[in-house]
Structure 1
C-alpha cells in the first residue's frame, strides 16, 4: 500500500522506446517522479521488444502492442503498492489497455488510452461505449486522447467539433470528469505543440469519476525533454471512502438526446 494512503498516477506519450538511450532516459525519469502507477503511450514496442522497458522498482509492467513499431501503450505498477490484478482488457492495435485490480483491498480500474491521430473523438467514444460496464467510481482514465475537449484547451481557442461534443456527452453520462479542468477551470496549460499549426493544446487527459472528486488532491502538467508531449500527474487520497450524504436522483435531459442511451432504454423496455 502506498505510504500515507497516497497514490500518484502519471501519464506521458513517450514517442517511442526502441532506442536504448531513450528507454534508459524514460526509466530514469520514472524513478525521479516516483509514481505509484505510470501510463505510457506510443511506446512503439512490438510484443517481442517489450523487454526494452524495464524500471527498477516497477516490477509489474503491462503492455498492449501491435505487430509493428507503431502505437503501443504500457502501464507500470510500483513495487511499493500492494496491487492485485483481477482482469486485463486490451486491443490488438496497441491503443488501449484496461487493468482492473485492487490496492490494499480497494478496487481500482486504470484505463490507458492512445487515440489515433485521425478520428480520435469517435474512437474514444466507441471505446467508452464498449467498456461502459467496466467503468465505475474507482475508474481512472488517462492517456493521449489526441483531442482537446474544450476551446480552453487550445491556444487558438478554436471551437470543438460535433464529434468532440458527442464524446463529451458520453463522458458526462458515465459520470466522468476532466480532473484538470475541474480543478483548474480557467487555467491555460498545454501538453503538446503542433509544428504544423503553430499552436499549443492539451490533448493528454486524466478523467475520473465525479463521486471521487474529493479524493483528487492535485493534478499538474510536468514538462519532459525527451518527448514532444508533456506529462500529467494526478495525486489521490487513497483509502476507504468517507461517508457521503445521499443525493436526490434526477434525469439528465441530455441522455434522451443520445442514441446510445435510447437504445439501452429500448432494450430494458
Structure 2
C-alpha cells in the first residue's frame, strides 16, 4: 500500500517504550507487515541522545521529538516507497508532539503527532492547537494518544464527557477539525485501550482531520497488535493521482436511485447520522459539511457493492 499511486495509509500507535532492542525489532517487523505510507508512534521513551536507536530498513525518513528523560517521545516515520518532501518541522522540547508539513504523493499534507500527558490532557491539546494555529491548515491530520475520550461512545462506561473535553471539542470545531474515525463510524464501540485497574475500555487514541480532507478519507479502522497495551488506528486517504486522467468532481450514479434497497440503506444511514451528530455543540455548517461527506462515502460503498454483485452473476 505504501507505494500505491491512488492512496496513502497512515498508522498511529502508542508503542509504550522502545528502549529494549527486542521491542524495536518487533516494531520494525510490525510496520513492515502493515506496509503503511506513514507511521506515527507515541511514547518511544527515547531521549535526545538515543534517537539514533530508532532505525527501520526501508524507512530512512524518521522525524522525532524527544526530551531529556526516558518518557514521552513521538516520531513520524515515512516509507521509502512514499514520495515525501518535508517543508517545515516543529518539535515539542519535552517530546509530546511533532508536526511535519510537506508534500506526500505530490499533495500538501500537515501531520501532527501528539502524545498528551496523563493529567490535563484536554487542556494540553487545546494549548497545542493554539500554539500551532498558523500551521494547521485545510490539509491537516492530527493523530496520536490524546489520553482522553472525545465522546460518550469512547468509554465502555458511557460516562458523559466533562467540561474540559467539551471545550476541547469546541476548539476542534472552531479550527474546522473533526473526529474522522467517529464521523465514519458514528455508532462504533471499538476501543483502543483497556485499563486493568478500572476494568474499563476506552478510545483515547484518535484521528482528527480538516473538514476539507474528509471527502478523501476512504477508510479508517482500529487494529489490534501484540506490541503495546494500545490498539493502532489506520487511516486511508485517496490522492489526486487516482483521478489524474479524469474529472476530480465526484458524481452520483443515478442508476442507484432506482434500487429500493439503496433507498432503505440511505434512509437508515441518514437517520443514524442525525441521531448521533445533531446536538447543541455542533454548528449547522459543520453538520451539513460532514453529512455531505458521509452520504458521498455511503453511495460509493453501495455502488461498489452493487458492481460486485453484478460481476458475481456473470
Q: TM-score, normalised by structure 2?
A: 0.76
- 8 Å contact from structure 1 (residues 64, 97) kept in 2: yes
Structure 2 equivalent of residue 153 of structure 1: 154
Q: How does 1:51-200 map to 2 (within 5 A)?
A: 51-200=52-201
Structure 1 unpaired stretches of 5+: 245-252, 256-269
- 8 Å contact from structure 1 (residues 142, 204) kept in 2: yes
Structure 2 equivalent of residue 6 of structure 1: 7
What is the Cα deviation at residue 54 of structure 1?
1.1
Tell me the SS of whatever aligns to 1:134: coil
| Aligned equivalents of 1:196, 1:131: Cα separation in 2 | 35
- 8 Å contact from structure 1 (residues 190, 200) kept in 2: yes
Larger CA Rg, structure 1 vs 2: 2
| Aligned equivalents of 1:76, 1:254: Cα separation in 2 | 35
Larger RCO: 1 or 2 (CA < 8 Å, sep 6+): 1
| Aligned equivalents of 1:93, 1:81: Cα separation in 2 | 29
What is the Cα deviation at residue 254 of structure 1?
7.1
| Aligned equivalents of 1:43, 1:212: Cα separation in 2 | 28
Structure 2 equivalent of residue 262 of structure 1: none
Structure 2 equivalent of residue 259 of structure 1: none
**Cα deviation 1:18-74 (Å, max 9, x = unaligned):** 001111001100000001000000000011212221111111001000111000001
Tell me the SS of whatever aligns to 2:5: helix
What is the Cα deviation at residue 77 of structure 1?
0.4
| Aligned equivalents of 1:195, 1:80: Cα separation in 2 | 39
Q: TM-score, normalised by structure 1?
A: 0.88
What is the Cα deviation at residue 105 of structure 1?
3.1
What is the Cα deviation at residue 202 of structure 1?
0.3
Structure 1 equivalent of residue 293 of structure 2: none
| Aligned equivalents of 1:13, 1:132: Cα separation in 2 | 25
Structure 2 equivalent of residue 219 of structure 1: 220
More helix by share: 2
Tell me the SS of whatever aligns to 1:98: strand
Q: Which moved more, 1:24-33 or 1:206-215?
A: 206-215
Tell me the SS of whatever aligns to 2:119: coil
Tell me the SS of whatever aligns to 2:240: coil
**Cα deviation 1:102-138 (Å, max 9, x = unaligned):** 1243211000000000000000011011111111121
What is the Cα deviation at residue 143 of structure 1?
0.2
Corresponding position: 1:201 with 2:202: yes
| Aligned equivalents of 1:109, 1:2: Cα separation in 2 | 19
What is the Cα deviation at residue 155 of structure 1?
0.2
| Aligned equivalents of 1:227, 1:83: Cα separation in 2 | 28
- 8 Å contact from structure 2 (residues 222, 231) kept in 1: yes
What is the Cα deviation at residue 243 of structure 1?
4.7
**Aligned-pair RMSD on alpha carbons?**
1.9
4+ residue stretches of structure 1 with deviation over 2 A?
A: 240-244
| Aligned equivalents of 2:119, 2:104: Cα separation in 1 | 36
| Aligned equivalents of 1:6, 1:175: Cα separation in 2 | 23
Structure 2 equivalent of residue 249 of structure 1: none
Q: Which moved more, 1:233-242 or 1:198-207?
A: 233-242
Tell me the SS of whatever aligns to 1:24: helix
- 8 Å contact from structure 1 (residues 27, 53) kept in 2: no
| Aligned equivalents of 2:24, 2:104: Cα separation in 1 | 28
- 8 Å contact from structure 2 (residues 18, 45) kept in 1: yes
Alignment: residue pair count: 249
| Aligned equivalents of 2:184, 2:165: Cα separation in 1 | 21
- 8 Å contact from structure 2 (residues 114, 146) kept in 1: yes
